[in-house]
């Protein structure tokens, strides 16, 4: 794996914790990034001893401390906008305000000087130098409270969305073409976040070929492996469903059969 590579291992909740120990040994516990909870289905009313099972897990490791990381963002919902940006300016723009000071005092820096005659509260310093604060104020980005406390204005329409957290809801496809077919949006998220154009994406248990299709449509190179003849057929079908157009090239690929493959002749 490339030094900038990542590995995502999607596994059932019954076995995931044992696999984590093996992954820690192989990739190093320092490279363990997340144990992502994946919500896979709606609640079910099966009669079983124990609680219902809605989730499985994805163990995410990077090869090093310098992986490819394209910070993903999730769109705000209307509810998020109302909760996170409760204020509205005269033009109808939603915003919130945040403090412009942070813990700790600086003795000689520019961030402990008075800003418009106001000093940072005791034990705190300005988050930036007073010249920048003055510029923010000139640009209308500081809101002054009735008691003379300045806060920075953050507009909702200037934010790209919220940080993606470690609980993901990507339900399994309702009519899968292969029994374990994954949700393509889940694969798009992983591939866009942890690889760049022309990176090589490997799915060594490629099943339906959904990972390979996602890699193709996102402009990545890819390698898929599977021992099952049904998986190879499903993968071929999946790749054929990629339309060649200006932005998404039709896949150009080759199959290699391993000599001992029992399925090779029946393809
Ligand atoms: C959970 S499925 C993969 C799902 C796939 N990512 C998708 O989206 O459809 C696991 C796949 O691993 C394949 N497999 C299991 N053991 C294998 C092995 N030793 N070598 C190659 N493929 C294997 C199975 O045939 C099966 O298609």
Residue 207 CA to ligand 1 centre (angstroms): 5
For domain 172-267, the CATH class is alpha beta
**Mean pLDDT, residues 25-44 taken together:** 96
Lowest mean pLDDT among 12-16, 38-42, 239-243: 239-243
Which residue spans of the chain are classified as CATH 3.40.50.150? 1-71+164-170, 172-267
User: Which CA distances in Å does 140 have to 136, 153, 158, 180?
Assistant: 6, 8, 15, 54
- Quickly tell me which residue has 């998220």 as its tokens: 189
**Mean pLDDT, residues 249-258 taken together:** 84
Nearest-atom number in ligand 1 for the CA of 203 is: 6
pLDDT at 266: 44
CA angle at 89 for the pair 131 and 147, rounded to the nearest 5°: 60
- Expressed in angstroms, the distance from the first to the final Cα of the chain is 30
Q: Which one is the CATH code of 1-71+164-170: 3.40.50.150, 3.40.190.80, 3.30.110.40, 3.30.70.100?
A: 3.40.50.150
pLDDT at 133 over 60: yes
More confidently predicted of 6 and 122: 6
Q: Is the distance from the beta carbon of residue 227 to the nearest atom of ligand 1 less than 6 Å?
A: yes
Provide φ and ψ at 110, rounded to 5°: -85, -5
**pLDDT tens-digit map of 66-96:** 999 999 999 999 999 999 999 999 999 999 9
Residue 102 CA to ligand 1 centre (angstroms): 50
**Rounded to 10 degrees, what is the CA torsion of 81, 87, 93, 98?**
-80
Q: Is the distance from the beta carbon of residue 39 to the nearest atom of ligand 1 less than 6 Å?
A: no
H or E element that contains 56:
strand 55-62
Which residues does 260 contact at the CB level (< 8 Å), separation at least 6? Answer: none
Alpha carbon nearest to ligand 1 atom 12, residue: 205
Q: Is the distance from the beta carbon of residue 208 to the nearest atom of ligand 1 less than 6 Å?
A: yes
Environment class of residue 216 by beta-carbon count within 10 Å: exposed (0-12), middle (13-18) or buried (19+)? buried
Residue 236 CA to ligand 1 centre (angstroms): 15
């Amino acid at each position: 794996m490339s030094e900038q590579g990542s590995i995502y291992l999607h596994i059932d909740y019954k076995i995931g914790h044992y696999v984590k120990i093996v992954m820690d040994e192989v990739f190093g516990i320092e490279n363990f990034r997340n144990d992502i909870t994946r919500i896979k289905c709606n609640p079910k009313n099966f009669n079983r001893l124990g609680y219902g099972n809605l989730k499985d897990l994805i163990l995410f490791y990077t090869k090093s401390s310098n992986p490819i990381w394209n910070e993903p963002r999730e769109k705000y919902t209307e509810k998020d906008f109302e909760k996170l940006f409760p204020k509205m300016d005269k033009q109808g723009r939603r915003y919130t305000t945040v403090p412009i000071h942070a813990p700790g005092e600086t003795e000689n820096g520019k961030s402990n000087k008075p800003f418009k005659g106001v000093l940072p509260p005791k034990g705190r310093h300005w988050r930036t130098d007073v010249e920048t604060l003055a510029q923010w104020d000139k640009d209308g980005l500081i809101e002054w409270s009735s008691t003379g406390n300045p806060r920075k204005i953050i507009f909702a329409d200037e934010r790209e969305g919220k940080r993606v957290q470690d609980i993901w809801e990507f339900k399994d496809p309702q009519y899968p073409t292969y029994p374990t077919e994954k949700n393509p949006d889940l694969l798009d998220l992983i591939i866009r976040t942890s690889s760049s154009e022309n990176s090589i994406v490997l799915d060594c248990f490629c099943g339906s070929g959904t990972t390979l299709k996602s890699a193709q449509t996102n402009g990545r190179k890819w390698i898929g492996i599977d021992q099952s003849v049904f998986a190879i057929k499903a993968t071929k079908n999946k790749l054929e469903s990629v339309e060649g157009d200006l932005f998404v090239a039709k896949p150009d690929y080759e199959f290699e059969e391993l000599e001992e493959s029992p399925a090779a002749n029946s393809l």
